Chains A and B, each alone.
Chain A
Amino acid sequence: AQSVTQLDSHVSVSEGTPVLLRCNYSSSYSPSLFWYVQHPNKGLQLLLKYTSAATLVKGINGFEAEFKKSETSFHLTKPSAHMSDAAEYFCVVTQTGANNLFFGTGTRLTVIP
């Protein structure tokens, strides 16, 4: 069975400081992992995805994530937070043979000026 756990429901950072959003996954087989972002009153936008290629994945808007199989983690990072990064972030997993995505409960990122 697949699942993801987002370890923080809310993260608050100051503008210009690093961002770390944590995600652990559980998957029986080789997973595909995604990070989506949802801005207020908007749909879900794909930030980046891992599908068994390079373990360090670069996404849009300066975000990246590292797949660590030994730690079953897929944490999202950004070196310097911007005010426009304030949003809800979802870690998502699927795997070969699965027909849908399994979402984490989300992490709300607040960026303080």
Chain B
Amino acid sequence: DTGVSQDPRHKITKRGQNVTFRCDPISEHNRLYWYRQTLGQGPEFLTYFQNEAQLEKSRLLSDRFSAERPKGSFSTLEIQRTEQGDSAMYLCASSLNNEGETQYFGPGTRLLVL
């Protein structure tokens, strides 16, 4: 059973450029989450999908951020017109809808905006 995968693992971009990250969850997991982690902090929730439906977006997610999960499988997170404050680790997690509902995380995408 493969774990959660994310691509790319690292991204360096210039301010103002658009970037897109991909997350492939564990195959049978119907829930998918995006978190952002800045230096010295724990991850913060950004958004959540159940199957293909995006059910919640955090206030942290400005209009420049958009996430999709077509067909309820992989997900993409796009940041438009990147700013230096977007530099962070972007973590994806997935879970199965059950009592414990443990979220399993991918390796993350480290974004650096110059």
**Pair from one complex:** no
Give A contacts to B, CB under 8 Å: none
Give B contacts to A, CB under 8 Å: none
